[in-house]
Structure 1
Amino acid sequence: MLSVATPSVAQTRLIRLMSMPEGHVIHHLAAKLNTHFAGQRLHASSPQGRFAAEAARLDGEQMGVAEAFGKHLFIEFDADDPAHIVYIHLGLIGTLQFEPEAAPRGQVRLRLSDGELAADLRGPQWCRLITEAERGAAVAKLGADPIRDDADPEPIRLKVQRSGRSVGSLLMDQKLFAGVGNIYRAETLFRLGISPFREGKKIRRNEFDSIWADLVGLMKEGVKAARIDTVRPEHTPEAMGRDPRKDDHGGEVYVYRRTGQPCYICGTPIREQVMEGRNLFWCPTCQKG
């Protein structure tokens, strides 16, 4: 029997702290792909070799459009091959970086290049070549994406208000809120003064509408800035005379990864606990109930 090592407490803590790119990152990458490569014939390769056969089928083909649905990225090519869509999920450690054409560095799963600029994909959870039908099936499993103008939150509201799960759990469910991750979950609930432990069925209609509107505003701004900033003008470092926050995601936030630090509004130490395998951050004073 194959034995599987059980992660240590420290390893488990590290896994929980790792941040999967949220939906704004994927939309930002789709926009960059469209800006630089849409309508061009691209050289597709797999320096690492794990996507070599698929890349060869796309090499020299014209890129159509790149599109994001939640945390899922689809890059369409104008090819006769039924499987002409690259389907990428970055997962926890994946990156898609744009750099001037040069010898690939590290384990590049897929490189798309116009001869001057290269987009290098490293460490994705998956990278697949799929058909239109397969894309449709993948998108059908996702909920409403706050960044997309065609998103319909009404079916999601009905599911939330019938659920006995906590709103903190529901916001992380990609079958409901596509693209929302740990940071936007924590920050939106704080900004609205909603406890992450309240059951979905106890979320009133106006509260759901406020959650959705706040996600739309914050996440669309995140696409433009390529970072997450959630503090209001009166709570910025300049307004409060405090040092800028230093963190991997690079933005100013109220509660995310601020465990034990004073709340910017009431001074209560920010709390943290694990909820369904992910670290949850909240202010017990500003988010009562």
Structure 2
Amino acid sequence: MPEGHTIHRIARDHSKLLTGRPVHVWSPQGPFAPDAARVDGATLERIEPYGKHLFYHWSTGEIGHVHLGLFGKFKVFTDDDRPQPQGAIRMRLESDSATIDLSGPTACTIDDPSVRTGILARLGPDPIMRRANPQQMYDKISKSRRGIGDLLMDQSVVAGIGNVYRAEVLFACGIHPLRPGTDLDPAELELLWTTITRMLRRGVKDNRIVTMTRADSDVPRNRPIPRADATYAYKRDHCVRCGTEIQHLDIANRTSYHCPTCQPR
């Protein structure tokens, strides 16, 4: 499932191609067709990312909602030879500068603005947003006996964290994923937020997950860090700092990775 940095990057890149223009909206697959017809030909005013959600603000006053889930993906075509839809395309967006196909999303709807309001009310702060307030995250973590590895995957606690960032944030902060939220002190909560913010914002900039710093990497400075060497704990066999074997836990239905030496319980 794409994590928050991917959603923000999609919004940034697609906005350049679609916003401020009338957009032909239709559904080659069919089920989305009635919704698409409500905004077909309308101007797309802006694309708003939040956590793992995308909101499309249309000139009709309605708002589109997309959640990619595990299988959703976009394909972008910007040349003059734009192909006919292939496969199960839920939504096609066509402007004078691009064609964008969406397939396999968990959610793809056109709604009254109240639906967006309801979704946002259920989510925690999005660390990528410049004015995000971490207090809601602090409050929920500090009152919960659930493990922090479970809490970070809860979108009502903090929006946008997925399995990779969970492992990397906790490793960078030296926190064991099974430590209860109530066990974390204010300094650790602040460190968590600062680390989450730094990592996700870097992900938007780089358009990929790179949590490894140059100080910890053997890759020459004039070369990009390859994907296999871009993380500290996620899918590693051994800790890059101390050499201890990376341990696996099943938390929130996903495999969690941690170093028992650098992240003592």
Q: Same fold (TM over 0.5)?
A: yes
Q: 2:230 aligns with which of 245, 252, 261?
A: 252
Structure 1 residues 147-162: aligned runs within 5 Å:
147-162=128-143
* Residue 54 of structure 1: how far off its partner (Å): 1.3
* Residue 158 of structure 1: how far off its partner (Å): 1.7
Q: 2:153 aligns with which of 172, 181, 197?
A: 172
Partner of residue 278, structure 1? 254
8 Å CA contact retained: 2:17, 2:97: no
Partner of residue 90, structure 2? 109
8 Å CA contact retained: 2:88, 2:103: yes
Deviations 1:11-49 (A, max 9, x none): xxxxxxxxx111111111111121111100011111111
TM-score when normalising by structure 2: 0.93
8 Å CA contact retained: 1:163, 1:200: yes
* Residue 239 of structure 1: how far off its partner (Å): 5.3
Report how many aligned residue pairs link the two structures.
Answer: 260
Q: 2:209 aligns with which of 228, 245, 255?
A: 228
Letter in 1 for 2:72: G
Matched position secondary structure for 2:76: strand
Q: 2:242 aligns with which of 254, 263, 266?
A: 266
Partner of residue 89, structure 1? 67
Partner of residue 132, structure 1? 113
| Root mean square deviation, CA, Å | 1.7
- Which segments of 5 or more consecutive residues in structure 2 lack a partner in the other structure? none
Q: Distance in 2 between matches of 1:136 and 1:203?
A: 31
Partner of residue 185, structure 2? 204
8 Å CA contact retained: 2:68, 2:106: yes
Q: Please say if 1:189 is aligned against 2:165.
A: no
Letter in 1 for 2:64: V
Deviations 1:195-243 (A, max 9, x none): 1111111111011101101111110111121110001112224159xxx
8 Å CA contact retained: 1:41, 1:62: yes
Deviations 1:176-202 (A, max 9, x none): 111111111110110111111111111
Letter in 2 for 1:285: T
List 4+ stretches of structure 1 deviating above 4 A.
Answer: 244-247
Q: 1:118 aligns with which of 90, 95, 99?
A: 99
Matched position secondary structure for 2:2: coil
Q: Distance in 2 between matches of 1:145 and 1:256?
A: 22
Q: Distance in 2 between matches of 1:106 and 1:204?
A: 50
Partner of residue 48, structure 2? 67
Q: Distance in 1 between matches of 2:118 and 2:109?
A: 14
- Which segments of 5 or more consecutive residues in structure 1 lack a partner in the other structure? 1-19
8 Å CA contact retained: 1:43, 1:115: no
Partner of residue 264, structure 2? 288
Partner of residue 11, structure 1? none
* Residue 262 of structure 1: how far off its partner (Å): 1.8
Matched position secondary structure for 2:15: helix
8 Å CA contact retained: 2:72, 2:102: yes
Matched position secondary structure for 1:238: coil
Q: Distance in 1 between matches of 2:183 and 2:66?
A: 36
Q: Distance in 1 between matches of 2:71 and 2:88?
A: 12
Partner of residue 6, structure 1? none
Q: 2:123 aligns with which of 142, 151, 175?
A: 142
Letter in 1 for 2:258: W
* Residue 142 of structure 1: how far off its partner (Å): 0.4
Instruction: Identify which range, 140-149 or 95-104, moves more after superposition.
Output: 95-104
Letter in 2 for 1:134: V
* Residue 246 of structure 1: how far off its partner (Å): 4.8
Q: Please say if 1:44 is aligned against 2:25.
A: yes
TM-score when normalising by structure 1: 0.86
